[in-house]
Chain A
Amino acid sequence: MTAHTTYEPKTAIERWLDTRLPIVRLGAEVLEFPTPKNLNYWWTFGGILSFCLATQIVTGIVLAMHYQAGGASAFLSVEQGIMRDVNYGWLIRGIHANGASMFFIAVYIHMFRGMYYGSYKAPRELLWLLGCVIYLLMMATAFMGYVLPWGQMSFWGAKVITNLLGAFPIIGKPITTLLWGGFAVDDPTLNRFFSLHYLLPFLIAAVVALHIWALHVPGNNNPTGVEVKSKADTVPFHPYYTVKDGFAIGVFLILFAVFIFYEPDALGHADNFIAANPLVTPAHIVPEWYFLPFYAILRAIPDKLSGVIAMFGAIAMLFALPWLNTSKVKSMRYRPTMKIYFLIFVAACCVLGWCGAQLPDDPVIGGLGKTFTLIDSDLNSYVWLSRIATAYYFAYFLLITPILGLRETTSPVPDSISKPVLAGEAAKKD
């Protein structure tokens, strides 16, 4: 990080501190950081995500004061203790449980934004990779957190997801036994998940610090995808983006509050109000909404090991993205063809999410009934819809992104961030 600051320690004590631990200087550098002046509201999700992480850590520490890990006590300590007896326990858990969903809404928008504007391209590959690591840690944390209330969905979700690792030959079985601490998901599993669920958010916070550090070396990307050329292209982070981010967090909080106060259970599942029973599987087991696209990819493939590999491969695509994109133009604002493929990609992700929540053999179009059987399932079934969307998901990364980048015709890219802005103003004056 180069010094952008105008900070001058004025008093003797500030000078004393500045020569020993220049922490005020660091803060001033962050606040005065030169930021592209054309960032739109899609860029506010970084701030929203920091807010989400802080919220989850604070509410989580409070909940841990009342929660009892253990097969016999966990469910009651949540549903009776925290939800009914603890002062404001319902509110704190409402924030924490819905906060996880809010966190994922924000992170998905943040990731799609990065993909659309090419924020992962050189020189920001490491910034993107650190983001992918944060996303992986978030998924692990959310999964283990969902297990803690020890309801039916908690228990069976844990069982299904840990069994995924059992698909790998030779190492699979010992790894699942090691994770479970027994022959099945049980008390030891719950206790270690609680321990790790408490640890991982702090690892996330550490990687977030690296993510922000890696951001402050090249600086922000921006909607044009053109790098900052001069001081005229930037404004200081404070007050311009502290205010913009603050406003966005305010709007985000309205959505958050609607869930907490009006629909606290809308994103959960009714079966999780039943205490875990190792002898009965819920009739329709689904993960939390933010895992549904990957769950649909898993189910799209009829073979256990291949399904698991495809699911992990779907996430691996994100890590490879900086090296799959061959285009010289970063922002899809100037890539009209790619923009269409990207929008289809977003739609495919949503379709996968929808398929993940349905029974695989159910018909997609209800009135149509059975059409004809292709390979193993009816064509009018969620299995086939998942397969089409899965194929597009992988094609987007492995075919469309590398090939289109070489062949497409792009629109003219502005010389600098300021150019189109100033041209626009000139046009208005005329």
Chain B
Amino acid sequence: MAESLADSASNPGHAGDDPSRRDFIHIVAAAAAVGGAAAVAWPLIDQMNPAADTLALASVEFDLSKVELGQEVTIAWRKQPLFIRHRTPKEIAEAVAGDHADLKDPQTDADRVKAGHAEWLILLGSCTHLGCVPLFGQGEYGGWFCPCHGSVYDTSGRIRKGPAPLNLAVPEYAFLNDKTVKIG
């Protein structure tokens, strides 16, 4: 620093004669301006991401004894529909049989339920195409059909036909006991 001061003192009024020093000042000034703008822009962008209260949405517990065999209950979880389906032996058999079909998003039925609880299928009720809620009991695979763009899911919630790319998502959940699940 002392040296550079000495340089400019020896060459008064001709600071521009040293191009590398002038370039350095330009680069530092521009970098500071870009860095400053980015530092201001980030809070303005990040404010749109989920707020703390949205992120803090708690998990839910659900009493399965309310759901009869062959029945399906839709509950709200993180503001999204969640299907809790009490599958019949026929549905389970169809789902297991589908394990060897030509699947778009290959997964076995066993991977989509908890061991020993094959009759309980818990799914996010949100079509993986564009987010509509699929309807049960329609479509040729005995499972769900999305009314928006015609995606068809089987009795394991796997995508079989239509534009959706993935199987219906299985949320993180655990059985607290035989009759209660905790989702999330």
Contact = CB atoms under 8 A, between A and B. Distances in A.
B142 interface: no
Interface string A184-195: 101010001000
B45 interface: yes
B25 to A, nearest CB: 36
B51 A285 contact: no
A183 B78 CA distance: 7
Interface string B149-184: 110000000000111110000000000000000000
Nearest to B54: A182
A170 B49 CA distance: 17
B150 A160 contact: no
A366 B72 CA distance: 35
B121 interface: no
A159 B130 contact: yes
Contacts of B45: 178
Contacts of B41: none
B131 interface: yes
Contacts of B49: 177-178, 181
A115 B81 CA distance: 46
Contact of B147 (A159, A188, A285, A303): A285
Interface in A183-217: 183-184, 186, 188, 192
Given A182-B54, A279-B74, A304-B164, A285 B80 contact: no
A281 interface: yes
Interface string B12-49: 00000000000000000000000000000000010011
A279 B81 contact: yes
Interface string A291-311: 000000001011111010000
Q: Which of B74, B133, B135, B163 has the most CB of A within 10 A?
A: B163
Interface of A is mostly: loop
Contacts of B74: 279
A156 B132 CA distance: 7
Interface residues of A, number: 36
B165 A304 contact: yes
Nearest to A303: B163
A414 interface: no
A284 interface: yes
A339 B49 CA distance: 50
A192 B48 contact: yes
B51 to A, nearest CB: 7
A188 B54 contact: yes
B76 interface: yes
A281 B144 CA distance: 13
B50 A177 contact: yes
Given A164-B130, A280-B133, A360-B149, A181 B80 contact: no
Contacts of B51: 181, 188
A266 B36 CA distance: 51
Interface in B122-149: 125-126, 129-133, 135, 146-149
Interface of B is mostly: loop
Contacts of A281: 132-133, 135, 146-148
A181 B48 contact: yes
Given A179-B48, A192-B48, A279 B76 contact: yes
A305 B129 CA distance: 10
Given A181-B48, A284-B147, A361-B150, A160 B132 contact: yes
B66 interface: no
Contacts of A279: 74, 76, 81, 125, 133
A163 interface: yes
Contacts of B162: 302
B79 interface: yes
A255 interface: no
A182 B149 contact: no
Contacts of B161: 376
Given A160-B132, A163-B131, A285-B132, A302 B163 contact: yes
A182 B131 contact: no
A278 interface: yes
Given A188-B54, A283-B147, A304-B165, A278 B79 contact: yes
Contacts of A305: 165
Contacts of B130: 159-160, 163-164, 304
Interface string A353-384: 00000011100000000000000100000000
A133 to B, nearest CB: 22
Nearest to A284: B147
Nearest to A376: B161
Contacts of A360: 149-150
Contacts of A163: 129-131
Nearest to B149: A299
Nearest to A186: B79
A359 B162 CA distance: 13
A183 B50 contact: yes
A184 B126 CA distance: 10
B182 to A, nearest CB: 18
8 contacts: A159-B130, A162-B131, A163-B130, A177-B49, A281-B146, A282-B147, A360-B149, A361-B150
Given A181-B48, A182-B54, 9 more contacts: A159-B131, A163-B129, A179-B48, A183-B54, A183-B80, A279-B81, A302-B162, A305-B165, A376-B161
Interface of B: 45, 48-51, 54, 57, 74, 76, 78-81, 125-126, 129-133, 135, 146-150, 161-165
